[in-house]
Amino acid sequence: MAPRNKEQEQEVLTWISNVLGEKLPPGQYEDVLRDGVVLCKLINKLAPGSVKKIQERGTNFQLMENVQRFQAAIKKYGVPEEEIFQTADLFERRNIPQVTLCLYSLGRITQKHPEFNGPHLGPKMADKNERQFTEEQLRAHQAELSLQMGFNKGASQAGHGGFGNTRHM
């Protein structure tokens, strides 16, 4: 498990606050996000109508449903499944760095959505850089003898003396 990074956690909270346009409730990182209310509001701001029902209070099970609704919505939004945290990672504080990774991924994915013009989180995504090669350029490469094809300019193991022996220089 990766160690927690307080700077990244603060950056995530600042980003969420800026996207929502409101101040987040005070408290520790995991406590602010734990009930899923802030997370559901966040995804509804990014993709309106993603989470239909948000439980503001209730039993632990009802609050965990908020987190599960958020997870389903961000998966639809484009966050890779392997970067989405498990409900217990946040709710039971098992793997808070995974929660941070997931939110960074969400912040990164917002760049792919032109309808969102708010602040972004994390590094800029790379642009597509397709290259076109002519048939002549592709054929020219086939004539080259790659060093990975077994030719290594005369180097051999001759004079080594066998396995397990030291090489005397």
DSSP-derived letter for residue 94 is: S
Parse the chain into domains and list their residue ranges. Answer: 33-111
**Which CATH number fits the domain 33-111, given the four candidates 1.10.10.10, 3.40.309.10, 1.10.418.10, 1.10.1520.10?**
1.10.418.10
- Residue 153 Rama label (left phi>0; alpha psi -120 to 50; beta): left
- pLDDT tens digits, 100-131: 888 888 888 888 888 878 788 877 777 778 88
**Per-residue model confidence (pLDDT) at position 165:** 65
Tokens 């290259």 found at: 131
- pLDDT tens digits, 126-161: 777 888 888 888 888 776 666 555 555 666 666 666
Phi and psi torsions of 150, nearest 5°: 105, -10
Residue 91, Cβ neighbours under 10 Å: how many? 21
Residue 19, Cβ neighbours under 10 Å: how many? 21
Per-residue confidence band for 51, with pLDDT thresholds at 50, 70 and 90:
confident
Enter the pTM of the model: 0.70
Chain centroid, CA 80 distance in Å? 7
How many residues in the chain?
169
**Per-residue model confidence (pLDDT) at position 146:** 62
